[in-house]
Chains A and B, each alone.
Chain A
Amino acid sequence: MKKIIISTTILCISLFSCGKKDETKSSIIKTESGIEMVLIPGGKFIMGGAGADNSPAREVEISPFYMDIYEITQEMYKKLELPDASHFKGESNPVEMVAWINAAIYCNERSFEEGLEPCYDEKTWECNFSANGYRLPTEAEWEYAARAGTKGKYFFGNDSRLLKNYAIFKANSQNRTSTTGTRKPNPWGLYDMYGNVAEWCNDFYSKDYYSSAPAKNPKGPEKGKARVVRGGSWADDESKINSETRGFDESINDACILRDTIGFRAVKKAD
């Protein structure tokens, strides 16, 4: 069902892609589930940094996609009647204590709800990227969206003193999650890309992946024991709160090791 209502505002933004300045427009849509997503324009960017597991930095091309403006809240999660084990209760707080598989299940349920083709095979958990339903972002999509056309460590520049304006993290979290969207968004209108909860990506984690990853729409290693998380959380200090630092976690399907620091947001293809 393609009843996505192209709603409101057209945000005029500037996209800097590999030094190539490009004027583009990014539209916000409200899905049938009532969740706001923003169109992330396709383009190229420099992914990675100089760290042990995020180098070599290299040029990556990303196709356009839609991304949830906010982290999935407990209200959004429970609307689909999914069991919510969040530690820090609050309808507008991000869902946490959610295993990777349960994040994928949410995506499938949201797809079912809107009559879209689910992306995840619930026996193998492989993602069908050609399906029109919801899925978790690839790590490359997440970083591309977080950078929002910028090149620095942060999407607001390199002054870490400004981080408090954009992120819920250890220095200002009071040791818990916060209502989503209470800090400033990034240039593409995405809230809480840094902090509040770290966000599950679709990719398996491998510390060496960047050296062998394809240049267009990389999707992560085929196998692994941990999945990538990005953006850092309320519990992290500023060293983990930026566009390029990679994280990973093994709580893919194990209730005994669920984290109250990990949540997610969903994406869907744009074409």
Chain B
Amino acid sequence: MKKTVIIFILAFTVFSANAGNFSRPLDKSQLNLSAIPYKIVFESYNKGNWDLHIINADGTGRKNITNTPDIHEMYPKVSPDGKHIAYVADTGEGRNKKRDIYTLSLIDSKKKLISEHSRQPAWSPDSRYIAFVKSESTRRFSIESWATKGLYFYDTYTGDIKAHPNKKIEHLYNLCYAPEGKYLIATVLGGMGFRHTNIAVSLESSRFFQLGIIGCRPEFSPDGKKIIWGRSDTLFNIADINLKRRPPVLNKDIKSFIKVEKGFEIYHADWSPDGKYIAFAYGPDGDQAVGGMAPGWDICVAEVATGKWTKITNDGNHNKEPDWMPFTGDSK
């Protein structure tokens, strides 16, 4: 109880101190990153190709796990049981490019095609289902994150794919399961009657409703009690969330978490499995979309309690879309 109170006070102090002020990455020595028992997987672009890299949270032990010069692997999402990574793979070039979803086994390194012309995979809390959306057009490739239609679920036990009962779902991106497993949250742009908002989609019916936040790419904390999202290119907010309430997020509960100066951007926030850290991408003005060029972007880690953050990569090779993975014990 005493520990909870102290964390709350620390967090409140940081939120208050950051309000209206921007922050910059600290020297790595300012955070005790070597104590973090998890790895991070992310996308990185080098020599004309996107690959997936794994790195320890302190920036050591970086490894390219795809190494495919003719295939662009991006948007990695680790299953909660730590056994697989779902990701998108782009093949072809320009307007003829094609984006498909695969899984990579972290046990035997086998790859498996999940769905063609598909993107934005998200794992169910029990690691059984992969939710995803399909590319809106197969006539020509679109890099736009929102250029999607429908919502689908791949059953890793049976290989079956089922469509969500709401056939009017369109333009969703950044899918994220609620830890209780009954809802997905996502951003929607120019579709479903909305200009741009964030919604929760019921997995048990065709219902959906707005979260009550402005911005994009909301991500649940592991306990399902908070979300983090990008209020703008330069600001992450954190708020309490209760999907049984309308709206699920109340204005009074929204706190500024990290704000960076104009000319830089922060994107792709992801909570660590223990809820203590946030991984995200940071760099000068660039394209945050999957496959978008973002020179100078690096992966960063922030402490939720203090708001302190630092870069854990420094090559600036368009490093984006970090996703925490449970510690597998092979290099720590």
Shortest Cβ gap from B319 to chain A (Å): 19
A82 within 8 A of B: yes
Query: Is the beta-carbon distance between B195 and A255 smaller than 8 angstroms?
Result: no
Residues of chain A within 8 A (CB-CB) of B287 are: 253-254
B147 within 8 A of A: yes
Query: Is the beta-carbon distance between A255 and B145 smaller than 8 angstroms?
Result: yes
Residues of chain B within 8 A (CB-CB) of A260 are: 195
A84 within 8 A of B: yes
- Interface size range on A against B: 20 to 34
Chain B residue with the shortest CB-CB distance to A260: B195
Q: Which of A221-258 contact B (CB under 8 A)?
A: 253-256, 258
Task: Kindly state the separation between the CA atoms of A87 and B216 in the bound complex, as whole angstroms.
Answer: 17
Shortest Cβ gap from A34 to chain B (Å): 17
Query: Is the beta-carbon distance between B190 and A86 smaller than 8 angstroms?
Result: yes
- Interface size range on B against A: 20 to 34
A122 within 8 A of B: yes
Residues of chain B within 8 A (CB-CB) of A81 are: 137-140
B128 within 8 A of A: no
Query: Is the beta-carbon distance between A97 and B139 smaller than 8 angstroms?
Result: no
Q: Which of B186-213 contact A (CB under 8 A)?
A: 189-191, 195-196
Task: Kindly state the separation between the CA atoms of A102 and B147 in the bound complex, as whole angstroms.
Answer: 11
Residues of chain B within 8 A (CB-CB) of A109 are: 95, 140
Q: Is the interface of A mostly helix, strand, loop or mixed?
A: loop
Interface string of B206-246 (1 = CB under 8 A from A): 00000000011000000000000010110000000000000
Task: Kindly state the separation between the CA atoms of A128 and B138 in the bound complex, as whole angstroms.
Answer: 27
Query: Is the beta-carbon distance between A102 and B190 smaller than 8 angstroms?
Result: no
Residues of chain B within 8 A (CB-CB) of A258 are: 189-190, 196
A85 within 8 A of B: yes
Query: Is the beta-carbon distance between B144 and A255 smaller than 8 angstroms?
Result: yes
Query: Is the beta-carbon distance between A83 and B136 smaller than 8 angstroms?
Result: yes
Query: Is the beta-carbon distance between A87 and B195 smaller than 8 angstroms?
Result: yes
Query: Is the beta-carbon distance between B190 and A87 smaller than 8 angstroms?
Result: yes
A80 within 8 A of B: yes
Given A109-B140, A260-B195, also A83-B146 (CB < 8 A):
yes
Query: Is the beta-carbon distance between B140 and A256 smaller than 8 angstroms?
Result: no
Shortest Cβ gap from A227 to chain B (Å): 15
Interface string of A85-114 (1 = CB under 8 A from B): 111000000000100001001001100100
Residues of chain A within 8 A (CB-CB) of B139 are: 80-81
Q: Which of B82-97 contact A (CB under 8 A)?
A: 94-95
Task: Kindly state the separation between the CA atoms of A80 and B142 in the bound complex, as whole angstroms.
Answer: 13
Chain B residue with the shortest CB-CB distance to A96: B190
- Could you say which of A84, A109, A112 has the most chain B C-beta atoms within 10 Å of its C-beta? A84
Residues of chain A within 8 A (CB-CB) of B190 are: 84-87, 97, 258
Residues of chain B within 8 A (CB-CB) of A83 are: 136-137, 142, 144, 146-147, 171
Residues of chain A within 8 A (CB-CB) of B191 are: 85
- Could you say which of A83, A112, A253 has the most chain B C-beta atoms within 10 Å of its C-beta? A83
Query: Is the beta-carbon distance between A255 and B189 smaller than 8 angstroms?
Result: yes
Task: Kindly state the separation between the CA atoms of A82 and B171 in the bound complex, as whole angstroms.
Answer: 12
Interface string of B281-292 (1 = CB under 8 A from A): 000000101001
Interface string of B251-292 (1 = CB under 8 A from A): 000000000000000000000000000000000000101001
Task: Kindly state the separation between the CA atoms of A112 and B233 in the bound complex, as whole angstroms.
Answer: 34
Task: Kindly state the separation between the CA atoms of A43 and B328 in the bound complex, as whole angstroms.
Answer: 71
Query: Is the beta-carbon distance between A102 and B232 smaller than 8 angstroms?
Result: no
Query: Is the beta-carbon distance between B146 and A255 smaller than 8 angstroms?
Result: yes
Residues of chain B within 8 A (CB-CB) of A122 are: 94-95
Chain B residue with the shortest CB-CB distance to A99: B144
Given A84-B190, A85-B189, A97-B189, also A256-B144 (CB < 8 A):
no
Query: Is the beta-carbon distance between B142 and A85 smaller than 8 angstroms?
Result: no
Chain A residue with the shortest CB-CB distance to B232: A256
**26 A-B pairs (CB sep. < 8 Å):** A81-B139, A81-B140, A82-B142, A83-B142, A83-B146, A83-B147, A83-B171, A84-B190, A85-B146, A85-B171, A85-B190, A85-B191, A97-B189, A97-B195, A109-B95, A109-B140, A112-B95, A122-B94, A253-B287, A254-B287, A255-B145, A255-B189, A256-B196, A256-B216, A256-B230, A258-B189
A81-B140, A87-B195 known, 12 other contacts, Cβ within 8 Å:
A82-B140, A83-B136, A83-B142, A83-B147, A97-B189, A255-B144, A255-B145, A255-B289, A256-B196, A256-B215, A256-B233, A260-B195
Contact surface of B with A, Cβ cutoff 8 Å: 94-95, 136-140, 142, 144-147, 171, 189-191, 195-196, 215-216, 230, 232-233, 287, 289, 292
